[in-house]
């Protein structure tokens, strides 16, 4: 009986050993279950969707209260946006019109189309943004050259137009006293021609007059309004009229109306000061300098804030003399045309007053809210 038990026990033990050997050396791995395969496929799909979302470009609606090709304010804004296209790969749609009713329609249409940023380049959009931004709380709006306060989805950028035009006034007043320069008469008269009579332009005008009267307290400043940002013929007509009244230099603050101002200076043998972009080379020898308003930088920085997630509604960026938001061109085109006859004291006086403004020795007057 004991012998039989031992045989049975030996057979059982051998069976177990053989089974274990097969398990470790000969058996194929179990196939994955259907559930595991589905999980793996779902994860890959989610990763692909995430990559697609990350690659989707930021979409910007760029709204103008006028047209591109003004060689001034609008073209400066577009240059900044093109830089953002090159650097960040954003998609841009441009909205152009000279009709106020269409400006408002464009604000609503762009917001309703779910653009990541509705960028409005002109104070003319101010009221429309105030009215409609609350209707689109998830849309980011930005206003260049005006302020919309207390709206959590609206950022604003303004320029120290008064500071920049203060320098222009210094230049114009000094120029009109230099009767040795061809085309300058003995009258102490300068001009100022703008597109529309709106508050932001009065910010320019106050600085212009203040700068001019620091040089010549009794100087006469002629002011004309074209009633449009897109009428160079009217700009030319108004400028020629100012020259006929004795002005030697006319300040251009007129966007697309401005080319007519500059052309008038060339035809009349007189002088002008450009605005927004460097316009010195458009009529070399007729444009003393240009007031640079870095609209391009303001637009670029606004887009960048959306890209890097630092966009903040209810904020205002102030572009001024201190941070390079406004400045004058370097007079190089005029110097090249005039040679030794160029009055170098104009440059040294401008540099002196720039420091006085930056240091707070001179406070430049301006329109409230700008």
pLDDT of the chain along its 370 residues, tens only?
444 344 333 433 434 333 433 343 443 444 444 443 344 444 555 555 544 455 689 999 999 999 999 999 999 999 999 999 999 999 999 999 999 999 999 999 999 998 999 999 999 999 999 999 999 999 999 999 999 988 999 999 999 999 999 999 999 999 999 999 999 999 999 999 999 999 999 999 999 999 999 999 999 999 999 999 999 999 999 999 999 999 999 999 999 999 999 999 999 999 999 999 999 999 999 999 999 999 999 999 999 999 999 999 999 999 999 988 999 999 999 999 999 999 999 999 999 999 999 999 999 999 987 7
Domain range summary for the chain, segments of one domain joined by +: 56-159, 161-293+326-358
For 56-143, where are the alpha helices, taking DSSP H only?
A: 73-88, 100-112, 126-132
Q: Please give the CATH superfamily to which domain 56-159 belongs.
A: Response regulator (3.40.50.2300)
Establish whether domains 56-159 and 161-293+326-358 are of one fold.
yes
Burial label, 306 (beta-carbon count in 10 A; 0-12, 13-18, 19+) = buried
Q: Please give the CATH superfamily to which domain 161-293+326-358 belongs.
A: Response regulator (3.40.50.2300)
pLDDT given at position 369 = 72
- Give one word for 274, left, alpha or beta, with left for phi > 0 and alpha for psi -120 to 50: beta
pLDDT given at position 54 = 57
| Model pTM score | 0.77
Element (H, E) at 154: strand 154-159
Residues 6+ positions from 82 with CB-CB distance below 8 Å: none
pLDDT given at position 44 = 53
**Widest pairwise Cα distance in the chain:** 144
Residue pair 219/190 in contact by the 8 Å Cβ criterion: yes
Phi and psi, residue 224, nearest 5°: -135, 150
How many Å apart are CA 36 and CA 310, to the nearest integer? 41
């Amino acid at each position: 009986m004991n012998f039989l038990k031992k045989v049975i026990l030996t057979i059982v033990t051998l069976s177990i050993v053989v089974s274990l050997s097969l398990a470790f050396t000969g058996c194929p791995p179990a196939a994955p279950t259907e559930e595991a395969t589905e999980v793996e496929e779902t994860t890959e799909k989610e990763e692909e969707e995430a990559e697609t979302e990350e690659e989707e470009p930021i979409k910007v609606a760029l709204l103008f209260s006028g047209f591109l090709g003004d060689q001034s304010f609008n073209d400066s804004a577009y240059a900044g946006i093109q830089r953002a296209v090159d650097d960040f790969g954003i998609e841009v749609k441009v909205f152009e019109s000279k009709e106020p009713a269409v400006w408002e329609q464009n604000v609503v249409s762009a917001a309703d189309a779910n653009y990541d940023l509705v960028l409005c380049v002109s104070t003319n959009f101010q009221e429309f943004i105030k009215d409609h931004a609350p209707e689109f709380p998830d849309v980011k709006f930005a206003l260049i050259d005006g302020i919309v306060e207390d709206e959590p989805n609206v950022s604003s950028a303004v320029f120290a137009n008064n500071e920049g035009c203060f320098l222009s006034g210094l230049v114009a007043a000094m120029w009109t006293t230099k009767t040795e320069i061809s085309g300058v008469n003995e009258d102490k008269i300068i001009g100022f021609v703008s597109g529309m009579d709106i508050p932001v332009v009065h910010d320019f005008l106050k600085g212009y007059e203040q700068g001019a009267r620091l040089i010549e307290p009794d100087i006469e400043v002629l002011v004309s309004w074209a009633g449009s940002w897109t009428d160079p013929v009217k700009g030319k007509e108004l400028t020629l009229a100012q020259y006929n009244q004795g002005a030697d230099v006319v300040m251009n603050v007129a966007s697309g109306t401005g080319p007519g101002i500059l052309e008038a200076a060339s035809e009349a043998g007189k002088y002008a000061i450009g605005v927004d972009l460097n316009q010195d080379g458009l009529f070399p020898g007729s444009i003393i300098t240009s007031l640079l308003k870095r609209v391009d930088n303001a637009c670029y920085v606004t887009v960048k804030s959306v890209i890097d997630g630092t966009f903040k509604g209810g904020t205002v960026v102030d572009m001024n003399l201190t941070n390079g938001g406004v400045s004058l061109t370097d007079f190089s085109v005029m110097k090249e045309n005039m040679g030794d006859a160029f009055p170098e004291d104009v440059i040294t006086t401008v540099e002196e007053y720039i420091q006085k403004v930056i240091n707070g020795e001179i406070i430049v007057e301006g329109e409230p809210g700008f």
